[in-house]
Amino acid sequence: MTRDLTRGNPMRLVISFAAPLLFGVLFQQLYSFVDTAIVGQYLGAVKLAAVGATGSVNFLVIGLCLGFCSGFSIPIAQAFGAREEEELRRCVWHAAVLSAVFSVMFGAAATMLCKPMLRLMNTPEEIIDSSARYIRIIFAAIPCCVLYNMASGILRALGDSKTPVLFLVLASLVNIVLDLFLIVVCHMDVAGAAVATAISQLVSGLGCVLVMIRRFPILHLSPENKCFSAPLARHMLSVGLPMGLQFSITAIGSVVVQWSVNGLGVNAVAAVSAAGKLSAFFACVFDALSSTMATFAGQNIGARKLDRVGQGLKSAAILGIGYCLLAFGAVMLFARPLLGLFIDGQADPAVTEMGIRFLRVNASFYIPLLFVNIVRLCIQGMGYTRVAMLAGLFEMVARTAVALFLVPALGFSGACFANPAAWVMADVFLIPCYLRIMRTLRGRVLPSVPAGE
């Protein structure tokens, strides 16, 4: 069930590892699509805006949790690449314990503070109650979200990118059925979408854990593996927390942008919500390639095969650039019918036009977004999580500058450039950092092994 990424042709390995991940991310976006489409079509643009207004707060809190899950999986991948099975099991145990503790803490705190956070974001009064009702349920279910992401992170660290996808597909189907039942049949309003998401995350998390127990002997823990080690816990936290903070620092910029968009009115909020969902769909390939690079870099650094890290990154870049060109063409041609999945163009023509503008501007900068994803996750997989956290700071500064200066000057058109500005600024920092890290490491590792070995 495991896969060794330290041997074989890097391009073929990247494709074979990323393909299941892409399928999974697409299904993850599918149930996010269903949430948005059902809310928009059955409950209207105001309720769509209510759900959309929670996006940056959601990213701020959930991103912190997902960041430390990703960080905790890096020592696991490195231990697997180094063939240190006892260390691997100890890392898995500590990752599980730390994830459980943090998820409960963050879930409780965020649930209590969700409405004050929405008020700080200048959320329009006509939607703030619905927004709070939706996001409160999402935050209360943070342990379910962390369960899946930690379990899937462990499986990917061992080279298994297929099992998480299978349960994500199952979760997507559960989410779709529950969305329709809870919103259309039970009339639960936006709360129905939140409950459906929480239950689907729990299903996928429990499924991954069951497979880990039954099919991965390498993860069977002995009593010795379960002894708490303060030094190992500190090491795990030194990797995981910077990644969590990187997500949150990036999200702070998104919160400021959301604050400025909220001030433009409900139509602007609805347009960004719908176009943001479509942008996330087109970014699925970037997410799959970046997760691939985190595992690929982690295993090869553990095996002390530095040149393979660069070869893997080059392969991911070639694949990603080809996709960026195709995605740009698709957005230019089909933005209007795609937005029609979420917005009734006849009833809300202004929202549709704003959404098209937002989507096309973002699509023009997909290549910078590609490099943000693959370079940052490559650096993280190599163990330099604090460098990646600093990249989040650059993104935050760029988004904040756009929100404070461009949006007041240009209105909604200024908001369209918030994400592109963040991606470009992050690349300006990340690419030189990656090159410097590679130069530094060349003198510390064993001679490289040819790509086919």
What is the pTM assigned to this prediction?
Answer: 0.72
Distance CA 76, CA 82 (A): 10
Helices in 227-265 by DSSP H: which ranges?
Answer: 230-262
pLDDT of residue 289: 93
pLDDT of residue 346: 62
pLDDT of residue 332: 93
pLDDT tens-place string over residues 92-104: 999 999 999 988 9
Residue ranges of the chain with pLDDT lower than 70? Answer: 1-3, 28, 31-33, 35-36, 41, 45, 344-348, 443-453
DSSP 3-state of 132? helix
DSSP 3-state of 115? helix
pLDDT tens-place string over residues 75-95: 888 888 788 888 889 999 999
pLDDT of residue 450: 38
Buried b vs exposed e over 314-350: b needs ≥16 C-beta within 10 Å?
A: ebbbebbeebbeebbeebeeebeebbeebbeeeebee
Distance CA 408, CA 421 (A): 16
